[in-house]
């Protein structure tokens, strides 16, 4: 009886030990998965505005991203020449403490296409933006717009800078923004350098970095079909929003959601791409 009781006791202790070990293993596994999930999210977001506007237009998108725990920086590039704008953007990228999601609206897409080659950039987000290939520019893409597409009401250059016709600005650039704001935007246009518009890409980052693209179906500045062609060529993950060119103002939640999707998927996509490249 005594030996039987001892055997039962030993088995009981072994069972408790095994249960404790399993609990520790499961706990470690859960913590590891949580840490892996956390470190797989890019927390630094850099926003690059387009031509004719400045970085303040990102305010609502910025507030959403900040509320969701992201570190957000806004580039105030001068839009005088593409090389200068890329240099200004890269200075902001260099100041980040880890991987970056680089976001560009309109002409800002050309800027991130070049600046996105920086090693810190984990992914690109195009918000109704130009995504030129090598040798292309925003100007060349505008000139090759699909037949029948509306032409942006760009006035003849003034001392090397471009503006939109103020009377046509609201309908062309900000049709779904409040009339007062659209009128203010028309009257406060930032000069857009002819050199910036014509700046050619030397190395398109979307060829080596994962990208996301928000297409605006009511856009009168960059035709939706041109956006679809560029996003398809870049292999981007695409969403479409019924919006004007000023989607960052009229639909900031949709813009922020796509940026957060990129922040969650960029490092995984980069790792998979490297694995696939190594396989070949």
The predicted-structure confidence for 135-166, as pLDDT tens digits, reads as follows 999 999 999 988 888 889 999 999 999 999 99
CA 50, chain centre distance (Å): 13
Q: Which two tokens stand for residue 98?
A: 């880890």
| For residue 212, pLDDT beyond 70 | yes
Is residue 11 included in any domain, yes or no? no
Q: Which two tokens stand for residue 274?
A: 């490297």
Percent of the chain with pLDDT over 70: 82
Looking at every residue in the chain, the average pLDDT score rounds to 87
Q: Look at residue 270 in the predicted model and tell me its pLDDT.
A: 61
Taking the C-alpha atoms of residue 199 and residue 157, their distance in angstroms, rounded to an integer, is 16
Please give the average per-residue pLDDT across 236-243, as a whole number: 98
Q: What is the dihedral of CA 218, 221, 226, 228, to 10 degrees?
A: -40
Cβ-Cβ contacts under 8 Å for 43 (sequence gap 6 or more): 69, 70, 71, 98, 263
Strand residues in the chain grouped as ranges (E)? 44-48, 71-75, 100-106, 121-129, 161-162, 192-193, 211-216, 237-241
φ/ψ of residue 121, rounded to 5: -80, 120
Bridge partners of residue 45, in order along the sequence: 72, 101
Is residue 20 included in any domain, yes or no? no
Is residue 73 included in any domain, yes or no? yes
Q: 191: domain CATH number?
A: 3.40.50.1820
Selected residue with higher pLDDT from 92 and 6: 92
Domain count, the chain: 1
| For residue 128, pLDDT beyond 50 | yes
Is residue 1 included in any domain, yes or no? no
| For residue 272, pLDDT beyond 60 | no
Is residue 39 included in any domain, yes or no? no
Taking the C-alpha atoms of residue 96 and residue 46, their distance in angstroms, rounded to an integer, is 9
Class of residue 34 by CB neighbours under 10 A (exposed 0-12, middle 13-18, buried 19+): exposed
Is residue 95 included in any domain, yes or no? yes
pLDDT band at 13 (very low <50, low <70, confident <90, very high): low
Q: Look at residue 146 in the predicted model and tell me its pLDDT.
A: 84
């Amino acid at each position: 009886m005594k030996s039987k009781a001892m055997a039962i006791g030993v088995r009981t202790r072994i069972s408790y030990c095994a249960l404790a070990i399993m609990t520790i293993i499961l706990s470690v596994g859960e913590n590891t998965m949580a840490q892996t999930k956390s470190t797989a999210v890019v927390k630094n977001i850099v926003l690059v505005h387009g031509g004719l506007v400045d970085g303040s237009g990102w305010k609502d998108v910025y507030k959403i991203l900040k509320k969701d725990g992201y570190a957000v920086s806004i580039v105030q590039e001068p839009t005088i020449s593409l090389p200068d704008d890329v240099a200004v953007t890269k200075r902001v990228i260099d100041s980040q403490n880890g991987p970056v999601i680089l976001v560009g609206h309109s002409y800002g897409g050309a800027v991130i296409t070049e600046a996105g080659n920086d090693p810190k950039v984990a992914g690109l987000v195009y918000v109704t933006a130009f995504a030129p290939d090598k040798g292309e520019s925003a100007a060349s893409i505008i000139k090759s717009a699909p037949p029948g597409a509306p032409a942006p009401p760009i006035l003849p250059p003034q001392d090397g800078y471009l503006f939109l016709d103020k009377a046509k600005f609201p309908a062309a650039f900000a049709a779904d923004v409040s009339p007062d704001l659209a009128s203010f935007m028309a009257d406060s246009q930032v000069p857009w350098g002819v050199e910036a518009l014509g700046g050619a890409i030397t190395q398109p980052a979307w060829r080596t970095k994962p990208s996301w693209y928000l297409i605006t179906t009511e856009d009168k500045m960059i035709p939706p079909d041109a956006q679809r062609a560029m996003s398809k060529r870049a292999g981007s993950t695409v969403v479409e929003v019924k919006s004007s060119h000023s989607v960052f103002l009229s639909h900031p939640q949709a813009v922020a959601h796509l940026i957060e999707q990129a922040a969650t998927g960029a490092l995984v996509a980069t790792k998979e791409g490297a694995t696939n490249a190594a396989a070949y």
